[in-house]
Amino acid sequence: MSAHATAQLVKQQISLLDYLLSQAWRPTRRIARGRLMGLCPLHDDRNPSFLVDPGKSLFYCYGCDRGGDVIRFVELSHSVSFGEAIRLLRRWSGMGSLLSDVIQFYQVQLHRHLEAVAYLAERGVQQPELVEQMRIGYAPGRCLRAWLMSLGYSLCDLQQAGVVTREGLDTFAHRVVFPLDSSLYGRSIGSAPPHRFLRGGKGGLYGWEKVRSCRQIILVEGLFDWATLRQAGFHNVTCSLGTGLNATQLHQLCDGASRVVYLAFDSDHNGSGQRAARQLAQRLWTHRVEAFPVDLPDGHDPNSFFVHGGGDAHQFQALLERARA
Ligand SMILES: [Zn+2]
Protein backbone atom coordinates (compact mmCIF):
# COMPACT_ATOMS: atom_id res chain seq x y z
CA MET A 1 0.00 0.00 0.00
CA SER A 2 1.32 3.48 -0.84
CA ALA A 3 2.19 5.88 1.98
CA HIS A 4 -0.66 8.11 0.87
CA ALA A 5 -3.20 5.26 0.95
CA THR A 6 -1.95 4.16 4.39
CA ALA A 7 -2.33 7.69 5.69
CA GLN A 8 -5.90 7.90 4.34
CA LEU A 9 -6.75 4.59 6.02
CA VAL A 10 -5.29 5.67 9.36
CA LYS A 11 -7.31 8.90 9.22
CA GLN A 12 -10.50 6.99 8.41
CA GLN A 13 -9.97 4.50 11.19
CA ILE A 14 -8.76 6.78 13.96
CA SER A 15 -10.75 9.76 15.09
CA LEU A 16 -8.68 12.70 16.28
CA LEU A 17 -11.00 13.15 19.27
CA ASP A 18 -10.65 9.51 20.41
CA TYR A 19 -6.91 9.80 20.17
CA LEU A 20 -6.84 13.08 22.12
CA LEU A 21 -9.12 11.67 24.82
CA SER A 22 -6.85 8.64 25.20
CA GLN A 23 -3.97 11.06 25.78
CA ALA A 24 -5.97 12.61 28.63
CA TRP A 25 -6.92 15.74 26.67
CA ARG A 26 -10.30 17.07 27.77
CA PRO A 27 -12.47 19.76 26.22
CA THR A 28 -13.33 22.64 28.53
CA ARG A 29 -16.24 23.94 26.46
CA ARG A 30 -18.35 23.29 23.42
CA ILE A 31 -18.71 25.96 20.76
CA ALA A 32 -20.78 26.31 17.58
CA ARG A 33 -21.18 23.41 15.13
CA GLY A 34 -20.17 20.75 17.66
CA ARG A 35 -16.61 21.98 17.92
CA LEU A 36 -14.67 21.81 21.19
CA MET A 37 -12.16 24.05 22.92
CA GLY A 38 -9.57 23.02 25.49
CA LEU A 39 -6.04 23.57 26.68
CA CYS A 40 -3.42 23.04 23.99
CA PRO A 41 -1.32 19.90 24.58
CA LEU A 42 1.37 21.30 22.26
CA HIS A 43 2.32 24.40 24.20
CA ASP A 44 2.11 25.68 27.78
CA ASP A 45 -1.47 26.92 27.53
CA ARG A 46 -3.29 28.84 30.30
CA ASN A 47 -6.43 29.84 28.42
CA PRO A 48 -8.05 27.14 26.31
CA SER A 49 -6.91 27.98 22.78
CA PHE A 50 -6.99 24.52 21.19
CA LEU A 51 -9.94 23.95 18.87
CA VAL A 52 -11.06 20.49 17.81
CA ASP A 53 -13.58 19.78 15.11
CA PRO A 54 -14.66 16.18 15.74
CA GLY A 55 -16.73 16.04 12.55
CA LYS A 56 -13.77 16.91 10.34
CA SER A 57 -11.20 15.31 12.68
CA LEU A 58 -9.08 18.48 12.57
CA PHE A 59 -7.49 20.71 15.20
CA TYR A 60 -6.16 24.24 15.32
CA CYS A 61 -4.43 26.11 18.13
CA TYR A 62 -4.88 29.89 18.32
CA GLY A 63 -1.96 30.07 20.76
CA CYS A 64 0.82 28.31 18.88
CA ASP A 65 -0.79 28.66 15.45
CA ARG A 66 -0.53 24.99 14.52
CA GLY A 67 -3.20 22.70 13.17
CA GLY A 68 -4.00 19.69 11.05
CA ASP A 69 -5.24 16.11 11.28
CA VAL A 70 -4.53 13.28 13.69
CA ILE A 71 -1.26 12.39 11.94
CA ARG A 72 -0.07 15.98 12.12
CA PHE A 73 -0.99 16.04 15.81
CA VAL A 74 1.13 12.95 16.54
CA GLU A 75 4.04 14.39 14.53
CA LEU A 76 3.95 17.54 16.65
CA SER A 77 3.20 16.00 20.03
CA HIS A 78 5.81 13.23 19.73
CA SER A 79 8.27 15.20 17.55
CA VAL A 80 8.37 12.37 15.00
CA SER A 81 8.34 12.09 11.23
CA PHE A 82 5.19 11.51 9.18
CA GLY A 83 6.02 7.81 8.71
CA GLU A 84 6.77 7.31 12.39
CA ALA A 85 3.50 9.09 13.33
CA ILE A 86 1.57 6.62 11.17
CA ARG A 87 3.35 3.69 12.80
CA LEU A 88 2.57 5.08 16.27
CA LEU A 89 -1.09 5.51 15.40
CA ARG A 90 -1.44 2.01 13.97
CA ARG A 91 0.19 0.58 17.08
CA TRP A 92 -2.09 2.73 19.25
CA SER A 93 -5.29 1.53 17.54
CA GLY A 94 -4.21 -2.13 17.69
CA MET A 95 -3.28 -1.62 21.30
CA GLY A 96 -6.79 -0.38 22.12
CA SER A 97 -8.44 -3.60 21.04
CA LEU A 98 -5.72 -5.73 22.63
CA LEU A 99 -6.19 -3.99 25.96
CA SER A 100 -9.94 -4.42 25.91
CA ASP A 101 -9.46 -8.16 25.23
CA VAL A 102 -7.02 -8.37 28.16
CA ILE A 103 -9.45 -6.54 30.45
CA GLN A 104 -12.30 -8.87 29.48
CA PHE A 105 -10.15 -11.91 30.20
CA TYR A 106 -9.23 -10.57 33.64
CA GLN A 107 -12.85 -9.71 34.40
CA VAL A 108 -13.93 -13.29 33.73
CA GLN A 109 -11.09 -14.65 35.86
CA LEU A 110 -11.97 -12.52 38.86
CA HIS A 111 -15.05 -14.54 39.70
CA ARG A 112 -13.25 -17.84 39.16
CA HIS A 113 -10.54 -17.16 41.72
CA LEU A 114 -11.52 -17.16 45.35
CA GLU A 115 -8.27 -15.52 46.44
CA ALA A 116 -9.12 -12.45 44.34
CA VAL A 117 -12.71 -12.28 45.54
CA ALA A 118 -11.48 -12.63 49.13
CA TYR A 119 -8.95 -9.86 48.61
CA LEU A 120 -11.64 -7.47 47.34
CA ALA A 121 -13.84 -8.36 50.32
CA GLU A 122 -10.96 -7.71 52.70
CA ARG A 123 -10.47 -4.28 51.13
CA GLY A 124 -14.20 -3.63 51.57
CA VAL A 125 -15.15 -3.57 47.89
CA GLN A 126 -18.51 -5.32 48.03
CA GLN A 127 -20.94 -3.82 45.56
CA PRO A 128 -21.09 -6.02 42.42
CA GLU A 129 -22.20 -2.98 40.39
CA LEU A 130 -19.08 -1.11 41.43
CA VAL A 131 -16.80 -4.04 40.51
CA GLU A 132 -18.58 -4.12 37.15
CA GLN A 133 -18.43 -0.38 36.66
CA MET A 134 -14.71 -0.18 37.50
CA ARG A 135 -14.18 -3.31 35.33
CA ILE A 136 -12.02 -4.84 38.06
CA GLY A 137 -10.36 -8.10 37.06
CA TYR A 138 -7.82 -10.60 38.23
CA ALA A 139 -4.69 -11.95 36.55
CA PRO A 140 -4.36 -15.57 37.67
CA GLY A 141 -0.89 -15.81 36.12
CA ARG A 142 -1.67 -18.39 33.47
CA CYS A 143 -3.69 -18.80 30.27
CA LEU A 144 -3.55 -15.13 29.22
CA ARG A 145 -0.99 -15.65 26.49
CA ALA A 146 -2.71 -18.71 25.06
CA TRP A 147 -6.10 -16.98 25.11
CA LEU A 148 -4.84 -13.84 23.34
CA MET A 149 -2.92 -15.85 20.76
CA SER A 150 -6.07 -17.84 20.04
CA LEU A 151 -7.67 -14.47 19.23
CA GLY A 152 -4.97 -13.87 16.63
CA TYR A 153 -2.46 -11.68 18.45
CA SER A 154 1.20 -12.57 18.07
CA LEU A 155 3.50 -13.04 21.04
CA CYS A 156 5.31 -9.96 19.78
CA ASP A 157 2.07 -7.88 19.98
CA LEU A 158 1.63 -8.96 23.60
CA GLN A 159 5.20 -8.16 24.54
CA GLN A 160 5.08 -4.81 22.81
CA ALA A 161 1.92 -3.89 24.66
CA GLY A 162 3.64 -4.96 27.87
CA VAL A 163 0.93 -7.39 29.03
CA VAL A 164 3.35 -10.30 28.72
CA THR A 165 6.99 -10.31 29.85
CA ARG A 166 9.98 -11.17 27.70
CA GLU A 167 9.73 -14.72 29.06
CA GLY A 168 6.11 -14.87 27.90
CA LEU A 169 4.61 -14.65 31.40
CA ASP A 170 1.65 -12.52 32.43
CA THR A 171 3.02 -9.14 33.60
CA PHE A 172 0.19 -8.74 36.09
CA ALA A 173 0.25 -12.27 37.52
CA HIS A 174 -1.48 -12.51 40.92
CA ARG A 175 -2.73 -8.97 40.80
CA VAL A 176 -6.15 -7.43 41.00
CA VAL A 177 -6.27 -5.36 37.83
CA PHE A 178 -7.99 -2.02 37.23
CA PRO A 179 -8.30 -0.58 33.72
CA LEU A 180 -7.20 3.07 33.46
CA ASP A 181 -7.76 5.42 30.51
CA SER A 182 -5.05 3.92 28.32
CA SER A 183 -3.18 1.72 30.76
CA LEU A 184 -3.67 -0.89 33.48
CA TYR A 185 -2.95 -0.84 37.18
CA GLY A 186 -2.33 -4.07 39.06
CA ARG A 187 -2.43 -4.41 42.85
CA SER A 188 -0.47 -7.41 44.05
CA ILE A 189 -2.35 -9.74 46.38
CA GLY A 190 0.78 -11.73 47.19
CA SER A 191 4.33 -10.90 48.18
CA ALA A 192 5.26 -9.06 44.95
CA PRO A 193 5.76 -5.26 45.08
CA PRO A 194 2.26 -3.81 45.53
CA HIS A 195 1.90 -1.47 42.57
CA ARG A 196 2.43 -2.05 38.88
CA PHE A 197 1.42 -0.09 35.80
CA LEU A 198 1.57 -0.91 32.16
CA ARG A 199 4.44 0.79 30.37
CA GLY A 200 3.43 4.37 29.69
CA GLY A 201 2.44 4.96 33.29
CA LYS A 202 -0.73 5.96 35.03
CA GLY A 203 -2.05 8.66 32.68
CA GLY A 204 -4.55 11.23 33.93
CA LEU A 205 -6.71 11.33 37.05
CA TYR A 206 -9.00 8.33 37.50
CA GLY A 207 -12.58 8.94 36.38
CA TRP A 208 -11.78 12.60 35.74
CA GLU A 209 -14.41 13.10 33.05
CA LYS A 210 -17.22 12.33 35.53
CA VAL A 211 -16.03 14.75 38.22
CA ARG A 212 -14.35 17.59 36.40
CA SER A 213 -17.45 19.77 36.47
CA CYS A 214 -18.05 19.20 40.21
CA ARG A 215 -17.63 22.30 42.35
CA GLN A 216 -15.96 20.18 45.08
CA ILE A 217 -13.66 17.27 44.42
CA ILE A 218 -12.08 14.72 46.76
CA LEU A 219 -8.66 13.54 45.59
CA VAL A 220 -7.37 10.23 46.97
CA GLU A 221 -4.15 8.36 46.27
CA GLY A 222 -5.41 4.80 45.83
CA LEU A 223 -8.16 3.06 43.86
CA PHE A 224 -9.40 1.23 46.95
CA ASP A 225 -9.88 4.63 48.60
CA TRP A 226 -11.79 5.70 45.50
CA ALA A 227 -13.97 2.56 45.60
CA THR A 228 -14.86 2.81 49.30
CA LEU A 229 -15.76 6.48 49.01
CA ARG A 230 -18.00 5.70 46.04
CA GLN A 231 -19.68 2.97 48.04
CA ALA A 232 -20.20 5.42 50.88
CA GLY A 233 -22.07 7.70 48.47
CA PHE A 234 -19.37 10.22 47.54
CA HIS A 235 -19.53 10.64 43.77
CA ASN A 236 -17.14 13.56 43.45
CA VAL A 237 -13.99 11.46 43.95
CA THR A 238 -10.94 11.14 41.75
CA CYS A 239 -7.65 9.32 42.25
CA SER A 240 -4.04 10.20 41.40
CA LEU A 241 -2.63 6.67 41.95
CA GLY A 242 0.10 7.80 44.31
CA THR A 243 0.81 11.13 45.99
CA GLY A 244 3.07 12.38 43.19
CA LEU A 245 0.90 13.92 40.48
CA ASN A 246 2.19 13.83 36.91
CA ALA A 247 1.96 16.79 34.53
CA THR A 248 -1.30 15.56 32.98
CA GLN A 249 -2.96 15.25 36.38
CA LEU A 250 -1.84 18.71 37.49
CA HIS A 251 -3.04 20.12 34.19
CA GLN A 252 -6.46 18.57 34.83
CA LEU A 253 -6.82 20.03 38.34
CA CYS A 254 -5.58 23.44 37.13
CA ASP A 255 -7.69 23.69 33.96
CA GLY A 256 -9.06 27.08 34.91
CA ALA A 257 -12.39 25.84 36.33
CA SER A 258 -13.32 27.16 39.75
CA ARG A 259 -13.30 24.28 42.23
CA VAL A 260 -12.39 23.18 45.73
CA VAL A 261 -10.14 20.13 46.08
CA TYR A 262 -9.95 18.06 49.27
CA LEU A 263 -6.74 16.08 49.48
CA ALA A 264 -7.54 12.87 51.37
CA PHE A 265 -4.15 11.16 51.25
CA ASP A 266 -3.01 8.42 53.63
CA SER A 267 -2.30 9.47 57.17
CA ASP A 268 0.98 7.57 57.46
CA HIS A 269 2.74 7.17 60.80
CA ASN A 270 5.83 8.87 59.37
CA GLY A 271 3.77 11.79 58.10
CA SER A 272 4.74 11.37 54.42
CA GLY A 273 1.16 11.37 53.12
CA GLN A 274 0.28 14.51 55.08
CA ARG A 275 3.46 16.22 53.88
CA ALA A 276 2.67 15.36 50.26
CA ALA A 277 -0.88 16.69 50.72
CA ARG A 278 0.33 19.99 52.18
CA GLN A 279 2.87 20.48 49.39
CA LEU A 280 0.32 19.70 46.71
CA ALA A 281 -2.20 22.04 48.34
CA GLN A 282 0.33 24.90 48.21
CA ARG A 283 1.04 24.14 44.60
CA LEU A 284 -2.66 24.16 43.71
CA TRP A 285 -3.22 27.48 45.50
CA THR A 286 -0.56 29.07 43.28
CA HIS A 287 -2.79 28.03 40.36
CA ARG A 288 -5.77 29.61 42.16
CA VAL A 289 -7.32 26.23 43.02
CA GLU A 290 -8.66 26.09 46.57
CA ALA A 291 -7.10 23.00 48.13
CA PHE A 292 -7.41 21.58 51.62
CA PRO A 293 -5.55 18.60 53.10
CA VAL A 294 -7.90 16.31 55.04
CA ASP A 295 -6.66 14.95 58.37
CA LEU A 296 -7.58 11.30 58.74
CA PRO A 297 -7.11 9.50 62.05
CA ASP A 298 -3.49 8.41 62.49
CA GLY A 299 -2.52 5.39 60.42
CA HIS A 300 -5.65 5.47 58.27
CA ASP A 301 -6.34 6.04 54.60
CA PRO A 302 -9.88 6.66 53.32
CA ASN A 303 -10.23 2.93 52.63
CA SER A 304 -9.27 1.74 56.11
CA PHE A 305 -11.22 4.61 57.68
CA PHE A 306 -14.40 2.95 56.42
CA VAL A 307 -13.38 -0.70 56.31
CA HIS A 308 -11.41 -1.15 59.54
CA GLY A 309 -11.91 2.11 61.40
CA GLY A 310 -15.70 1.85 61.57
CA GLY A 311 -16.09 5.26 59.92
CA ASP A 312 -19.23 6.25 58.06
CA ALA A 313 -20.16 8.83 55.42
CA HIS A 314 -21.33 11.29 58.06
CA GLN A 315 -17.99 11.16 59.88
CA PHE A 316 -16.04 11.48 56.65
CA GLN A 317 -18.10 14.52 55.70
CA ALA A 318 -17.19 16.03 59.09
CA LEU A 319 -13.49 15.50 58.28
CA LEU A 320 -13.95 17.39 55.01
CA GLU A 321 -15.66 20.25 56.80
CA ARG A 322 -12.92 20.37 59.41
CA ALA A 323 -10.27 20.53 56.65
CA ARG A 324 -11.84 23.72 55.37
CA ALA A 325 -12.45 25.38 58.73
ZN1 LIG B 1 -0.91 25.46 21.06
> How far away, in angstroms, is 50 Cα from ligand 1 center?
6
Instruction: Indicate whether 266 and 214 sit together in one domain.
Output: yes
Instruction: Indicate whether 128 and 186 sit together in one domain.
Output: yes
Strand 27-30, strand 36-38: pairing: antiparallel
Instruction: Indicate whether 212 and 253 sit together in one domain.
Output: yes
> How far away, in angstroms, is 41 Cα from ligand 1 center?
7
- pLDDT at position 7: 85
> How far away, in angstroms, is 63 Cα from ligand 1 center?
5
Residue 138 φ then ψ, to 5°: -140, 135
> How far away, in angstroms, is 128 Cα from ligand 1 center?
43
Task: Name the band, by pLDDT with cuts 50, 70 and 90, for residue 285.
Answer: very high
**Which of 170, 197, 224 is the C-terminal boundary of a domain?**
197
The domain that holds 44 is classified in CATH as: 3.90.580.10
Task: Name the band, by pLDDT with cuts 50, 70 and 90, for residue 169.
Answer: very high
Model confidence pLDDT, tens digit, residues 171-220: 999 999 999 987 899 999 999 899 999 987 898 999 998 999 999 999 99
Instruction: Indicate whether 212 and 310 sit together in one domain.
Output: yes
**Distances 309 to 83, 97, 124, 271, 297 between C-alpha atoms, Å:** 56, 41, 12, 19, 9
Mean pLDDT of the 78-96 span: 85
Q: Calculate what percentage of the chain has a pLDDT beyond 90.
A: 74
Instruction: Indicate whether 220 and 266 sit together in one domain.
Output: yes
| Residue-range definition of the domain harbouring residue 57 | 3-79
Instruction: Indicate whether 167 and 223 sit together in one domain.
Output: no
**Which of 39, 55, 79 is the C-terminal boundary of a domain?**
79
Instruction: Indicate whether 187 and 221 sit together in one domain.
Output: no
> How far away, in angstroms, is 232 Cα from ligand 1 center?
41
> How far away, in angstroms, is 10 Cα from ligand 1 center?
23
The verdict on residue 162 lying in a domain is yes
The verdict on residue 87 lying in a domain is no
- pLDDT at position 186: 97
> How far away, in angstroms, is 123 Cα from ligand 1 center?
43
> How far away, in angstroms, is 179 Cα from ligand 1 center?
30
The verdict on residue 17 lying in a domain is yes
| Runs of H (alpha helix) within 163-234 | 208-211, 223-231
Q: Is the pLDDT of residue 1 over 60?
A: no
Instruction: Indicate whether 306 and 246 sit together in one domain.
Output: yes
Instruction: Indicate whether 163 and 182 sit together in one domain.
Output: yes
Q: In what order do the strands lie in the sheet with 137-139?
A: 137-139, 175-179, 184-188, 195-197
Instruction: Indicate whether 12 and 102 sit together in one domain.
Output: no
The verdict on residue 86 lying in a domain is no
Q: What is the DSSP letter of 164?
A: B
Q: Which of 201, 205, 223 is nearest to 214 (CA)?
A: 205
Q: Is the pLDDT of residue 3 over 90?
A: no
Task: Name the band, by pLDDT with cuts 50, 70 and 90, for residue 2.
Answer: low
- pLDDT at position 313: 97
> How far away, in angstroms, is 44 Cα from ligand 1 center?
7
> How far away, in angstroms, is 51 Cα from ligand 1 center?
9
- pLDDT at position 142: 87
The verdict on residue 50 lying in a domain is yes
- pLDDT at position 201: 85
> How far away, in angstroms, is 288 Cα from ligand 1 center?
22
- pLDDT at position 267: 92
Model confidence pLDDT, tens digit, residues 26-69: 999 999 999 999 999 999 898 999 999 999 999 999 999 999 99
* Cβ atoms of residues 121 and 131 within 8 Å: no
Average pLDDT, the chain: 93
> How far away, in angstroms, is 45 Cα from ligand 1 center?
7
> How far away, in angstroms, is 49 Cα from ligand 1 center?
7
Model confidence pLDDT, tens digit, residues 228-272: 999 999 999 999 999 999 988 998 999 888 999 999 999 988 888
Give the bridge partners for 84, in sequence order: none
The verdict on residue 294 lying in a domain is yes
**Which of 197, 230, 265 is the C-terminal boundary of a domain?**
197
Instruction: Indicate whether 220 and 158 sit together in one domain.
Output: no
Mean pLDDT of the 71-75 span: 96
Instruction: Mean pLDDT check: name the lowest of 74-78, 131-135, 236-240, 270-274.
Output: 270-274
> How far away, in angstroms, is 60 Cα from ligand 1 center?
8
Q: Which residue has the higher pLDDT, 57 or 88?
A: 57
Domain count, the chain: 3
Q: Where are the beta strands (DSSP E) in 77-140?
A: 137-139
> How far away, in angstroms, is 314 Cα from ligand 1 center?
45
